[in-house]
Structure formats: structure tokens, C-alpha cells
Amino acid sequence: KNQVEQSPQSLIILEGKNCTLQCNYTVSPFSNLRWYKQDTGRGPVSLTIMTFSENTKSNGRYTATLDADTKQSSLHITASQLSDSASYICVVPNGGATNKLIFGTGTLLAVQP
């Protein structure tokens, strides 16, 4: 069954610190992996999309890595800000021709002053 798992479930860090969120997926065939940021009560907003040939991709203070061999990805947030407090969701399109997205359960990040 195609699944996306994330860890940790939740994380509390102090403003200015860095953190790394993890994602494991079992989707085949694999095309790409996305990281979304979801503020409470809002829709997901895309941070990065990585295809199987990309190992690292940055978007400002966000850096995503992908290891297609081990089917793992990470999202590193540098110099965290209070506004980074949100749920970070790892998403992979379902295998095959469909564009249906498989969502992970997300990591709830709280950045404290």
C-alpha cells in the first residue's frame, strides 16, 4: 500500500534554532516528493517539489533532501522564526498515471520565543 510516514509528530524549538523533519515513503512508481506548510485552519502551501533526480533543493531558509534509494526525505529549517510555527506535510503523488496526492500525517512545529 502506498504510504507516507513522518517523524517526529510534533516538535518544539526556540526561535533562531534549526530543525530537521523526516519523511519516509513507500510509493511506487515514484515521480516526485513535495513538502507543504499548513498553518492552522488553512490550506497547504507548497514549499518544494523534488523529482527523483534531485538530491537537495532550497527555498529560502528551507532545504529539502531526497534519497530515492532509501525512500527518505528531510526538510531542514534554518534560523527558525515564530512564523514557522505550522504543520509540515510530506506529500507524494500516487503511483501510476494519476495525480492523486498521498499525504503524510505531518509534523507540528512550534517555534517559541
Q: Which spans of this chain sit near another protein (rule: CB under 8 A)?
A: 31-32, 34, 36, 41-46, 49, 51, 89, 93-94, 97-106
Nearer to another protein, 13 or 49 (CB): 49
CB of 43 to another protein, least distance (A): 4
Rounded Cα–Cα distance for residues 74 and 58 (Å): 12
* 9 burial type by CB count under 10 A (0-12 exposed, 13-18 middle, 19+ buried): exposed
The CB-of-19 to another protein minimum distance in angstroms stands at 21
Please, what sign has the CA dihedral across residues 40, 13, 54, 29?
Answer: negative
In the bound state with another protein, the residue whose beta carbon lies nearer, of 39 and 67, is 39
Looking at the Cβ atoms of 15 and 94, the one nearer to another protein is 94
Nearest one of 47, 80, 85 to 64, comparing CA atoms: 47
35: exposed, middle or buried (Cβ count in 10 Å: 0-12, 13-18, 19+): buried
- Which residue, 86 or 89, has its beta carbon nearer to another protein? 89
To another protein, the closest distance from the beta carbon of 36 in angstroms equals 8
